[in-house]
Homo-oligomer: A and B are copies of this chain.
Amino acid sequence: MEKNVLLTIAYDGSRFHGWQKQPGQVTVQGHLEKVMSQLFKREILLSGTSRTDAGVHALGQRASFKTELGIPTERMAMVINNALCAAEDAGGYAKAPVRIVEAVEMPMDFHARFNCKSKEYIYRIIDGTGQSDFATDLSLVFDRNYIYHVKETLDVEAMKKAAKLLEGTHDFKSFEAAGGNPRETTVRTIMSAEVLAAEETGGQRSIEFHVRGDGFLYSMVRIITGTLVEIGQGKRRPEEIREIIEAKDRTRAGHTAPPNGLYLATVFYE
């Protein structure tokens, strides 16, 4: 009997040209469909929730697929992970890690994207890297694809204040990059936007921006993050967020933060 399976997926996005299948590119969807189709000896087609860009990571991407496979859903994550692991080992020294965090059965009319109510992204930053002493902190060499390094020491309080001004229902046109999919409106609701910072050690802090919304425009989280970083650098005032939203003009917002610090954290349904 056919069933509808929802996968929760984590991946190292710095190894992939984004989520969405594309000819001639190594993408997460393309890789997963290939490994799963070989494993299950039938064509598997995934409907993903979010088209993460090249370099963007996922802790909790979601994708659903319909199948008549007899294998119990609760064993599916382990079986797929073993196949993914073997594919990585066969692929040589530059491994592109993807793992199934969970597999659950859903009603037949459930769709990973259309049923999504909201999503949470996390953007990771390390500040003060301009003074980095690589003789005492080599982590900055190895986390370069996973965290945005900002040379200056950031004013975290100003960033927190600015993040709060993003909450609510607004037209986020100023925070949309060109090149996205057609959409009916640029109005979105941000349920929460928070800047969290760890204690400073050696002039550096690990800073996270957590944002949950009912939807995001193309590159919206990265443009918001770039703007928050500029506020932290003292180049802009926190209150400017209001003016930028009102302007509905991309050129008024800050730079697009690099993809490497961005994580699709959670997809919410219900």
Contacts and interface: CB of A to CB of B under 8 A. Distances in A.
A139 to B, nearest CB: 10
Tell me if A's interface is mostly helix, strand, loop or mixed. Answer: mixed
Interface string A141-171: 1101110010000000000000000000000
11 contacts: A14-B93, A14-B94, A14-B95, A53-B93, A55-B92, A55-B94, A81-B132, A81-B134, A95-B145, A95-B260, A97-B142
Nearest to A77: B134
Contacts of A77: 134
B145 A99 contact: no
A255 B81 CA distance: 23
A121 interface: no
A15 interface: yes
Contacts of A97: 141-142, 144-145
Contact of A55 (B85, B93, B98, B141): B93
B99 A134 contact: yes
A133 to B, nearest CB: 9
B142 A146 contact: yes
A247 interface: no
Given A89-B258, A93-B258, A258-B93, A101 B12 contact: no
Contact of A12 (B53, B55, B144, B258): B144
A259 interface: yes
A260 B96 CA distance: 12
A99 B135 CA distance: 10
A11 B89 contact: no
Nearest to A100: B134
Given A14-B94, A93-B14, A99 B259 contact: no
Interface in A243-270: 258-260
A138 interface: yes
A214 interface: no
A10 interface: yes
Contacts of A13: 93
Interface in A1-28: 8, 10-15
A103 to B, nearest CB: 11
Given A88-B144, A144-B88, A138 B10 contact: yes
Contact of A135 (B11, B55, B85, B102): B102
A58 to B, nearest CB: 9
A77 B135 CA distance: 11
Contact of A141 (B12, B53, B89, B94): B12
